[in-house]
């Protein structure tokens, strides 16, 4: 079995510094907001795994359906010798691609979690002992330096996570991905599609309350890491469909007027009853919009696949 390489391009203290900066900026601006990446401590990751199994939450199942049906077509279209996965996590869905990419030489998973990368790499090498795995502990939104691996390269960004980026952030991100690619390389992008707002709201506000617990977990993270005194029961989970922007917003709404102290930031935040903190935006897409955003970043949409119900899409874009 080949050993895997693990490279850290994210400084050891980068996560703590970023949390401090995001919370300070997010709680002192108007309206207040917090980035969704802070949901994902160990408990948050467990809750998200629960969400993916909920009957209301279709994206994970829909994307898996496409990957199973189209993995061989993706492999044939790209001829990839290197697969780079952004936000790889457990690399669970990637296994469908790895099985289909018979000429693959290298797999480069990119994530901020060292434990997730190590666990995924060990599991994948047990199944693909000849595969060269070079894991990167990195923030893919902050620019990447990739290892020297053979082309063609296929960059995979799955799960609809691109929808968590605001339009300007998304444009910058897609341009940064394009900068990593050479002619003949490709991007495989997962996008949730525009649909009836009631379906979307249910997907982000399930009957069992798992998404509500996931949303409030950001407060638990701030309490633990920054010495804050948020009371989770003081906030309600809110999921709202914005038909103009075509995105879902998740928010936390104060049930009463209250004051929160964040000791590590020497910050006191006053909330009025009903005041909200936006914790996530999840944009939904249409094919023509995805095509235009990719073209603006210098990539050409060549394939568009959806699940049978037309809820989710995988698009393949190439660099000419």
pLDDT above 50: residue 1: no
pLDDT tens digits, residue range 49-91?
A: 999 999 999 999 999 999 999 999 999 999 999 999 998 776 7
SS3 label, residue 48: helix
Identify the pLDDT of residue 279.
Answer: 98
233 Cβ neighbours under 8 A, 6+ residues apart: 255
Identify the pLDDT of residue 136.
Answer: 86
Rounded Cα distance, 193 and 310, in Å: 8
pLDDT tens digits, residue range 274-308?
A: 999 999 999 999 999 999 999 999 999 999 999 99
Task: Return the biggest CA–CA distance within the chain.
Answer: 60
Q: Which letter, b or e, does each residue of 295-312 get, where b requires 16 or more Cβ atoms within 10 Å of its Cβ? A: eebebebebebbbeeebb
Rounded Cα distance, 49 and 60, in Å: 10
From 19-33, 56-70, 94-108, the region with the lowest mean pLDDT: 94-108
Identify the pLDDT of residue 208.
Answer: 97
Q: What single string gives the DSSP state of each residue in 248-263? A: EEEEEEESS-EEEEEG
Rounded Cα distance, 263 and 223, in Å: 9
Given a contact cutoff of 8 angstroms between Cβ atoms, the answer to whether 273 and 262 are in contact is no
| pTM of the entire predicted model | 0.92
Given a contact cutoff of 8 angstroms between Cβ atoms, the answer to whether 261 and 228 are in contact is yes
From 105-114, 234-243, 288-297, the region with the lowest mean pLDDT: 105-114
Mean pLDDT of 179-208: 97
Burial of 236 (0-12, 13-18, 19+ CB in 10 A): middle
């Amino acid at each position: 079995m080949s050993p895997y390489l693990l490279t850290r391009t994210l400084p050891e203290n980068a996560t703590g510094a970023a949390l401090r900066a995001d919370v300070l900026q997010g709680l002192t601006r108007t309206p207040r907001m917090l980035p969704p990446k802070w949901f994902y401590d160990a408990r948050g990751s467990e809750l998200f795994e629960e969400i993916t199994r909920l009957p209301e939450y279709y994206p994970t199942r829909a994307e898996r359906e496409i990957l199973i049906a189209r993995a061989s077509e993706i492999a044939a279209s790209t001829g990839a010798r290197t697969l780079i996965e952004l936000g790889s996590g457990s690399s669970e869905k990637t296994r469908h691609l790895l099985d289909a990419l018979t000429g693959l030489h290298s797999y480069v998973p990119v994530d901020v979690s060292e434990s997730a990368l190590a666990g995924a790499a060990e599991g994948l090498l047990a199944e693909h002992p000849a595969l060269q795995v070079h894991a990167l502990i990195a923030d893919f939104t902050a620019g990447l330096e990739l290892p020297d691996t053979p082309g063609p390269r296929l960059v995979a960004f799955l799960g609809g996570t691109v929808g968590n980026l605001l339009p300007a952030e998304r444009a910058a991100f897609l341009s940064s991905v394009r900068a990593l690619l050479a002619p003949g390389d490709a991007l495989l992008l997962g996008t949730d599609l525009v649909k009836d707002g009631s379906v979307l709201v249910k997907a982000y506000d399930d009957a069992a309350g798992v998404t509500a617990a996931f949303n409030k977990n950001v407060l638990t993270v701030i309490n633990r890491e920054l010495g804050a005194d948020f009371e989770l029961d003081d906030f309600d989970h809110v999921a709202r469909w914005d038909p103009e922007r075509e995105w879902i917003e998740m928010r936390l709404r104060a049930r009463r007027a209250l004051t929160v102290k964040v000791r590590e930031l020497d910050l006191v935040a006053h909330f009025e009853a009903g005041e909200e903190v936006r914790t996530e935006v999840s944009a939904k897409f249409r094919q023509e919009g995805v095509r235009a955003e990719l073209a603006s970043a210098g990539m050409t949409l060549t394939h568009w696949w959806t699940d049978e119900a037309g809820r989710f899409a995988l698009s393949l874009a190439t660099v000419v």
